[in-house]
Structure formats: C-alpha cells, structure tokens
C-alpha cells in the first residue's frame, strides 16, 4: 500500500512569490493535515481537511490556504512568501471518525524562500 506522497520534494522561491504544495493521502483516508516545521523546531499545525471541508486551521495568516479535492488529495497554497516561511511542510493523512485516528506523514516538501 502506498504511503502519503508529497510534491515537490524541494521548492525554491523568492519573497513575494506564491508556492503550491501537493499531498496525496493513503488510499481510504479522508483527512489531510498540514504542518509547518521550521528547522530544528516542532510541528506547527496549519490546516485540517476532512471530506473536502476545512475543519480547523492553526494560528497562521490568511495567506496560508488550501483545499481538498474529491479524491481527498490536498493542496497548500502560500501567497506573498516571506523569508520566515522557509520550512519543511509536512502532510499527514488519517481516517477520521474511527476513534483510532493515526496520522501517517509524508516525506515533506522543503520550501526555501530567498
């Protein structure tokens, strides 16, 4: 069974540009979570999508947005990039509602903003 996949693996942008990150969950999983992990730091919750709807978002500005498609894959968009947006962006998927939710993480996208 394929795990969570993310693309691209690395992304280099300049300040003010937009970045689009993609995530494909494990087959059968309906929830997708996005996290930001700055170098050497913990996981900061960004967004949670389930069944195509945004269920919750973390304490990030509106220029961080995303969506979930009918096939449960997801996209994270970061507009007006700033230098401090440089981080590893992790996507995780789970099957929400089972009472035994476990998050399976993808390998991440490393975003560098110059």
Partner 1 sequence: GQQVMQIPQYQHVQEGEDFTTYCNSSTTLSNIQWYKQRPGGHPVFLIQLVKSGEVKKQKRLTFQFGEAKKNSSLHITATQTTDVGTYFCAGLNYGQNFVFGPGTRLSVLP
| Residues making contact with partner 1 (CB under 8 A) | 33, 35, 41-43, 45, 48, 55-56, 90, 92, 99-108
**Of residues 17 and 101, the one with the C-beta less far from partner 1:** 101
DSSP states of 29-42: --EEEEEEE-TT--
**Of residues 73 and 104, the one with the C-beta less far from partner 1:** 104
Burial class, 26, CB count within 10 angstroms (exposed 0-12 / middle 13-18 / buried 19+)? middle
* DSSP reduced 3-state for 3: coil
Closest CB 81 distance from partner 1, rounded Å: 22
Q: Which residues pair with 57 in a beta bridge?
A: 47
**Of residues 43 and 112, the one with the C-beta less far from partner 1:** 43
Closest CB 30 distance from partner 1, rounded Å: 14
């Amino acid at each position: 069974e394929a795990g969570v996949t993310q693309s691209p693996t690395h992304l280099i942008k300049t300040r003010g540009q937009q970045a689009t990150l993609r995530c494909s969950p494990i087959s059968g999983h309906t929830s997708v979570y996005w996290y930001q992990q700055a170098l050497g730091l913990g996981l900061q919750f960004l967004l949670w999508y389930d069944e195509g709807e945004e269920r919750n978002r973390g304490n990030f500005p509106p220029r961080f947005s995303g969506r979930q498609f009918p096939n449960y894959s997801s996209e994270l968009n970061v507009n007006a990039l700033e230098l401090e947006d440089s981080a590893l962006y992790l996507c995780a998927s789970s099957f929400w509602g089972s009472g035994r939710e476990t998050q399976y993480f993808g390998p991440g996208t490393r975003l560098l903003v110059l």
